[in-house]
């Protein structure tokens, strides 16, 4: 019997690039720097439950360093892994208000990285899955080697890569460079992400909806009517849908990619523009889900085409199986 082929991320990128010569070796270097940081975050997330035993936030560890909160730790790990590799010209993090320049002493590259270091951080203490989300663009400004706001504020359609790492029962990395969406699972015994699904394909229609229904009283009328619709009894159209909501975007999107259905974070009174961030959350997830055959909308427009005007811009996000998201849009556009 022959052994199954084992494909790690480097080999996957190499094989993809032979088929579609999109990027150079620099790109796989960028991704492996990022994955090293994510493996370290994964290790810390796994230890989080031991925090009472090993020491609390604010305490000083054996090296005399402050023990950082997990989301600060995740931000610092990625920042430190990515600022000197020579691949990036600028970064931005959901945790930091302003763009993060590449220090003068390091050479600058032609890529731009936006990341949410630890999304769903309210779930950390309860051992629920959380994740890192990222989005990569090419540098478009030509004033000099440093990246600018113009490089950071690009529409989703211009992403060259997007992905997330899901720290769940196992650690899973899902990414796209525009040639489909592939998933890898971290084998902790060898410290490598190994290919587990070469082409994730989301069902055209699902039967799961995912939304914080606690906000229902302050949704707009279209959202209320759509959610009422999918809860009606009609076995021929597989209704009512069933509800699953983790409250960690990465966990909710991961399930949606695998099983289909719809995830919604619509506007409400507390968050009139939606809660999620366009550049760190919505656009990368939209790219991943579209590459798996799904669709992402802000209610009336394709997320991938929304032009950002600020780094931390928020947006409504309706994402998942294409037929389900189009149904929601029909309500939002007043067609149903």
Q: With respect to ligand AHM, which residue has the nearer C-beta, 24 or 212? A: 212
**Binding partner of residue 108 among Mg ion, ligand AHM, none, CB cut-off 5 to 8 Å per kind:** none
Q: Binding to ligand AHM by residue 255, rule CB under 6 A?
A: no
Q: Binding to Mg ion by residue 95, rule CB under 5 A?
A: no
Q: Which of 165, 132, 162, 189 is nearest to 285 (CA)?
A: 162
184: which DSSP letter? E
Q: Binding to ligand AHM by residue 212, rule CB under 6 A?
A: yes
Query: What's the gap between Cα 63 and its chain centre?
Result: 33
Phi, psi angles (nearest 5°) of residue 251: -65, -45
Phi, psi angles (nearest 5°) of residue 33: -60, -45
The least CB distance from residue 253 to ligand AHM, in Å, is: 8
Q: Binding to Mg ion by residue 119, rule CB under 5 A?
A: yes
Site string for ligand AHM, 46-85 (x = CB under 6 A): ----------------------------------------
Phi-psi region of 238 (alpha: psi -120 to 50; beta: other; left: phi over 0): left
Q: Which stretch binds Mg ion (CB under 5 A): 40-48, 119-127, 147-155, 157-165?
A: 119-127
Q: Binding to ligand AHM by residue 121, rule CB under 6 A?
A: yes
The least CB distance from residue 290 to ligand AHM, in Å, is: 19
312: which DSSP letter? T
Which residues touch 307 (CB under 8 Å, ≥6 apart)? Answer: 153, 155
Token representation of residue 225: 């009517």
**Binding partner of residue 212 among Mg ion, ligand AHM, none, CB cut-off 5 to 8 Å per kind:** ligand AHM
Site string for ligand AHM, 264-303 (x = CB under 6 A): -----------x----------------------------
Q: With respect to ligand AHM, which residue has the nearer C-beta, 110 or 254? A: 254
Burial call 135-148: b when 16+ CB within 10 Å, e when fewer? bbbebebeeeeebb
**Chain residues in the site for Mg ion (CB under 5 A):** 116, 119
């Amino acid at each position: 019997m022959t052994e199954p082929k084992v494909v790690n991320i480097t080999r996957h990128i190499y094989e993809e690039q032979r088929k579609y010569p999109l990027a150079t070796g620099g790109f796989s270097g960028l991704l492996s720097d990022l994955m090293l940081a994510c493996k370290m975050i994964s290790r810390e997330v796994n230890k989080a439950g031991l925090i009472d035993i090993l020491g609390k936030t604010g305490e000083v560890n054996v090296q005399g360093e402050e023990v950082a909160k997990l989301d600060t730790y995740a931000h610092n790990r990625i920042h430190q892994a990515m600022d000197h590799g020579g691949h990036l010209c600028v970064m931005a993090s959901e945790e930091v208000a302003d763009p993060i320049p590449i220090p003068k002493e390091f050479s600058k590259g032609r890529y731009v990285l936006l990341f949410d270091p630890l999304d769903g951080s309210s779930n950390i203490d309860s051992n629920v899955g959380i994740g890192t989300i990222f989005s990569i663009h090419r540098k478009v400004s030509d004033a000099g080697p440093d990246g600018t706001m113009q490089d950071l504020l690009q529409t989703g359609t211009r992403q060259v890569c997007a992905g997330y790492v899901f720290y769940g029962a196992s650690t899973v990395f899902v990414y796209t460079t525009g040639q489909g969406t592939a998933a890898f699972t971290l084998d902790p015994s060898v410290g490598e992400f190994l290919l587990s699904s070469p082409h994730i394909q989301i069902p055209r229609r699902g039967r799961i909806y995912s939304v914080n229904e606690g906000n229902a009283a302050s949704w707009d009328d279209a959202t209320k009517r759509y959610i009422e619709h999918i809860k009606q009894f009609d076995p021929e159209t597989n209704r009512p849908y069933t509800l699953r909501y983790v409250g960690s975007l990465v966990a909710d999107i991961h399930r949606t990619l695998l099983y289909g259905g719809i995830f919604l974070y619509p506007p409400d009174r507390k968050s009139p523009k939606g809660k999620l961030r366009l550049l760190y959350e919505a656009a990368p997830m939209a790219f991943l889900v579209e590459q798996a055959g799904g669709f992402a909308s802000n209610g009336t427009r394709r997320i991938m085409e929304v032009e950002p005007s600020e780094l931390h811009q928020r947006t409504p996000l309706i994402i998942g199986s294409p037929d389900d998201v189009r149904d929601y849009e029909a309500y939002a556009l007043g067609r149903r």
